[in-house]
Amino acid sequence: MKNVRIGIVGLGTVGSGVVRILKEQQALIAQQTGLSFEIVKAIIANPDRERASYLKDVALGTDITQLLQDESIDIIVEVMGSVAAAKDLIEQALAAHKNVVTANKDLIAQYGQELAELAMANNVALRYEASVAGGIPILQILRTAYKADQVHTIAGILNGTTNFILTQMDEQGLTYDQALKAAKEKGFAESDPTNDVDGFDAAYKLAILTKMAFGLSVPQSAIDITGIRELAIDDVKAARAAGYELKLIGLSDLTDEGLRLAVAPMVVHENQPIAQIRNEHNAVLVKS
């Protein structure tokens, strides 16, 4: 069985979760893939921070070059959470002939094409499935199952925080502010929720989906973005009374006039599958 050696940069909530899942699912992954995965080292900002028990046997360091110069490492997982520093790291990793995995949607939306070309030039892989729609393997589906199809429309709930807020307004009768507070208490919303509630997070993800489905790199300025901040409980009630659900939808629609790109609150008929998606969950509809 081949052993795949992994270096990880960042050991916060996401990075720790990656390590935990690889350890917990080690036997199943080996059975399904014929590969064993070993976390060789994690590069962190604070080596003195208390760590969970499942991280005790992971070697820690603070110098990224330790990963870049280690020829035994096959994959570098980037979970730093920034854009500029992450881009610099990934460029160095690809140039050093390391395969890279990232969930950095902001980075991929802005520099995905450039980094993909660098990966190809160095005959390594750049993978970013987790950057869009959480656990839904939508990028892999677009990359493979729709390879011979002409995609016409992508529409989906791409941000779990806003979907949670809208669900709470609908089901619990909460105001926007009350629902946002509940989202923060559950850890779905950041202390500054701007990226989520103003639609920017969904726009980054829509740009990635658009690139994968239509082969077009679109800047955020090309997307018509409206968030949910101004929605009132009366808006949600009115939609419900008419047989609709209010959802923040990311839409990439190929029309005779060109590609329409939008992130905005939209009414979805209650019988449609997307209308049934509640709380922090995501969904993506593809028409071809």
Positions at the binding site for L-homoserine: 190
- What is the rounded distance in angstroms from the CA atom of residue 102 to the CA atom of residue 77? 6
Query: In this structure, are residues 161 and 193 in contact, taking their beta carbons and an 8 Å threshold?
Result: yes
Q: Identify the H or E element spanning 273.
A: none
- Residues tagged in the binding site annotation for NADP(+): 10-15
Q: Is 112 exposed, middle or buried (0-12, 13-18, 19+ CB in 10 A)?
A: buried
Query: Residues 205, 211, 237, 287: which is the catalytic one?
Result: 205
Residues of each annotated binding site: 10-15, 105, 190
Give catalytic status of residue 247 as yes or no.
no
Task: Tell me how many degrees the CA angle 3-8-10 measures, rounded to the nearest 5.
Answer: 160
Binding annotation for NADPH: 105
Distance CA 181, CA 191 (A): 10
- What are the C-alpha distances in Å from 63 to residues 7, 44, 114, 233? 12, 8, 25, 50
Q: Could you list the active site residues?
A: 205
